[in-house]
Structure 1
Amino acid sequence: MKSAFIYALLLLGSFSALAQDRSDLTLGAKVGINFYSLSNDALVVDDDTGIATEFGIYGRIGERFFIQPELNFVNYKTHLITQNQPRAGERDALTVRYLRVPVLVGFRTSYDGKVASRIRFMAGPSVSYIVNVADNNLGIGRSDLHNAQFALNGGAGFEVWMLRLDLLYHHYLTSLFNDNNSEGKGRAFSISAGIEF
């Protein structure tokens, strides 16, 4: 986890250095919650959606059309019963912590409403790298999961007073489990609030 914070500081430092040369660079930080579940998987008997947290920093380059690289620390949680767990039939939470790096391309409108304004539409790829797997009764550790997972992300954002609100969908292309028989891929919906400085 210490190395993840070092990466965050380096990225923020890089954004700050760019900001001195670019008047169209915006820096921000955000925090939010996500809802995570798995697609059908032969190794999973039953699962349900879990709620967890995420936070991160971002830089947005451009005004109307923009590119937005981010560095996010994400907790994904789902409650599972698996085929191979030590105690058959026992449901437990699987919580995996990731360092997620998306690069979003977007368009921002000039709409200026009474409550919400400057609506943004964005989409792009991301890679997530496992930082940690929480203890669980399923017998699942870090070696049982793919370390790097790729996803497509898309959604919308808007401004409400000083806050920047984002609603994003994350569609993973890599299976969660490091097993040839596994096809379950992550699906997540996130809601975050941020500030820009």
Structure 2
Amino acid sequence: MKKAFFVLAALLVIQNSFGQFALGIKGGVNVSKIYTDAGSFKANFNESLDTKTGYSFGAYARLGKKLYLQPEVMFATKGGKVNVVPVGGGSPVSVDIKTNNIDIPVLIGYKLFNRIRINAGPVASIKVSEDAKFLDQLKVVTSNPDEAFEKATFGYQAGVGIKLLGFDIDLRKDGSLSDVSSKQFDGNQFSQRLSGWQLTIGRKII
């Protein structure tokens, strides 16, 4: 299914505008959280602002003119806060989560009026490291903190962008389609998936 998606995307872009290519750099902020099954969309967004704000930066390529394919490579910090039961039982402990990741989104986009863009697509997220303070907190709740969270996850990004004064400004919804935590954190208190928003500003260099 994923292979078919990429092949179709490539064919559409090549057919639409062969030879159109751009390369750029971008950076910005992420607001994210580990969301609960009971949370509403509005509650998730507000909680994200209150829990963990990170940053992201990297590069993108854009192939196509009106209809385009946009792969990116981004370094991103993400996280949230969850309550977990310590090893051996006891009262729940609040764990402040922060991880450093390499995100690789592959988006299909469409330009409106040559200024507004809409785009969406899958993203692979590879965990590079955890915050040192986060690892210390994990020792309270698990005997193997380095294995508490998955090394790679699969998700999606979808959003809108606008070109303003030569800069590309993008706002995207960023979500997980697979669990970010390992089996050690299974439980009913949280759904183990990351949800958030990303706001970036970029500029074409080629």
Percent identity over the alignment? 22
Counterpart of 1:138? 137
Contact 1:174 1:185 in 2 (8 A): yes
Alignment correspondent of 2:97: 94
In 2, are the aligned partners of 1:85 and 1:139 still within 8 Å (CA)?
no
| Secondary structure, aligned partner of 2:51 | strand
Q: Which residue type is aligned with residue 38 of structure 1?
A: I
Aligned 8 A contact 2:86 2:92 in 1 = no
Paired position in structure 2 for 1:108: 111
Distance in 2 (alpha carbons) for counterparts of 1:88 and 1:130: 29
The 3 A distance-change label for structure 1 pair 106 and 38 is same
Could you tell me which residue of structure 2 aligns to residue 178 of structure 1? 182
Please state which structure has a larger fraction of its residues in strand: 1
Partner of 1:158: 162
One-letter amino acid of the structure 2 residue matched with residue 187 of structure 1: S
Structure 2: runs of 5 or more not aligned: 1-17, 38-46, 140-144
TM-score (norm 1): 0.76
State the shift of 1:56 in Å.
Answer: 1.1
Residues 34, 79 of structure 2: 8 Å contact kept? no
Moved over 3 A (4+): 85-92
Decide which structure has greater helix share: 2
Q: Any gaps of 5 or more consecutive residues in structure 1? A: 1-21, 112-117
**Are 1:67 and 2:69 matched, yes or no?**
yes
What is the aligned length?
Answer: 166
> Relative to structure 1, is the Cα distance of residues 92 and 184 closer, same or farther in structure 2, using a 3 angstrom cutoff?
closer
> Which residue in the other structure is 1:129 paired with?
126
Instruction: From 7, 23, 32, give the equivalent of 1:27.
Output: 23
State the partner residue of 1:120: 117
What displacement does 1:49 show? 2.8
2:35 to 21, 39, 52: 39
